[in-house]
A and B are shown apart, each in its own frame.
Chain A
Amino acid sequence: MKVLGSLEGGRVIPLKTIRRRYILIELVKSSMHIDAKHIVSELKRSLLRLYGEYGLSLADIHPIEYGSSYLVISCDHRMLQQVRSAIAYLDRISGIDVLLCVSSVSGTLKKLRMRMRFT
């Protein structure tokens, strides 16, 4: 969302009020194959358990892309640490033992993809 902001000297520039963070979640280990959609829904449930409906609505989580062993989600920048803690509390998804870890966090998808290419 963009609103008009102003700088000294009367120049008016667009100012971004809601900033997003893109989180690369790596599936380090799992006892069976698991679908990324299940991870997102379980992550939302974990966030709801820890921070309530208000926290979940503030976090505004969206899945961006996923592969066999990774998942990229976006969230509000103010709730980054809370989303990270919700990820840390995920150890079992639909009866399957999993180990997830936050590999990288970025403000733009472009930079995140660059990091993904190098790791």
Chain B
Amino acid sequence: MKRYVDLHVKPRSEEDVHDILETALKLGYKAIGLVIDSIYSQLVEEYNGLKILKRIDVDAKLDDLRKYRVRLSRKYDIVSAICRDSSDIRRALKCGFNIICFKGLPSTPKITDFSLIKYSEAYLELDLCDLLSFNEDERIMVFRSIARIFRYASRKDAKLILASGAVDSYKLRAPLDLASMVLPAGVTWFEALTAAVYNPSIFFSYMIRKSMGYVSEGVRIVRRW
């Protein structure tokens, strides 16, 4: 059985959290990454079998980025870096971020960004929530950049993740529907499926292993002091 995971959901209020969790269960998700702040710190780890991953987004422009990552990774399951340009991506990768997210969908992605990601274990994440609210002209621009992102990613073997980036339950999409949202950009069904279903699932299983002490192949944490 496939494990569907949506790694990026950004509820606006506490009422939205409950609504989003109910809808995610209906849509068949097994785990969901919720961007939460201290208000919802009482959030449970599981909701009727739906695993909740606490997530926080950090601006890659911040000073002491590495310190932030180390400190926050004790408290949150996913710590992602929000990047605006290549220098941000470089900084985020140096500081050991696993998920790199663009601030909005980039209009002109560069192939050098993907070369940087190629040699790391990081995933590049695209939020598709904005696509629903854009008008036709904006959407055309975004489709063009999505096509470029997928082309560059396949050329450089960079790993992509598609997330809904939903702010309320109406913006959530079922896993296969989420994959189909990038098809108008000329992306193949296999590429879309890999980014929307397989890569998030691999990342999720990596996180589970990491929580059990896994560091890398052959290396495992046996004791902390």
Contact = CB atoms under 8 A, between A and B. Distances in A.
A91 interface: yes
Interface stretch (A6-14, A36-44, A97-105, A106-114): A97-105
A100 B13 CA distance: 23
A102 B181 CA distance: 13
Given A28-B23, A28-B26, A102-B176, A91 B171 contact: yes
Interface in B161-191: 169-174, 176-178, 180-181, 183-184, 189
Contacts of A81: 180, 183, 189
A87 interface: yes
Contact of A99 (B172, B176, B189): B172
Interface string A47-61: 001110000000000
A89 B170 CA distance: 11
Q: How large is the interface on B (under 10, 10 to 19, 20 to 34, 35 or more residues)?
A: 20 to 34
B170 A88 contact: no
Contacts of B136: 49
A85 B184 contact: yes
Contacts of B174: 101-102
Contact of A101 (B27, B131, B132, B184): B27
B170 A51 contact: no
Interface of A: 28-29, 49-51, 81-82, 84-85, 87-89, 91, 97-99, 101-102
Given A81-B180, A89-B181, 19 more contacts: A28-B23, A28-B27, A50-B184, A81-B183, A84-B176, A84-B177, A84-B183, A85-B177, A88-B173, A88-B177, A88-B178, A88-B180, A89-B132, A99-B23, A99-B169, A101-B27, A101-B174, A102-B174, A102-B177
16 contacts: A28-B23, A29-B169, A50-B184, A51-B184, A81-B183, A82-B183, A84-B176, A84-B180, A87-B177, A89-B131, A89-B132, A98-B170, A99-B23, A101-B177, A102-B174, A102-B177
Interface of B: 23, 26-27, 131-132, 136, 169-174, 176-178, 180-181, 183-184, 189
* Those 4 A-B pairs whose CB atoms lie nearest each other, nearest first: A85-B180, A88-B177, A101-B174, A84-B180
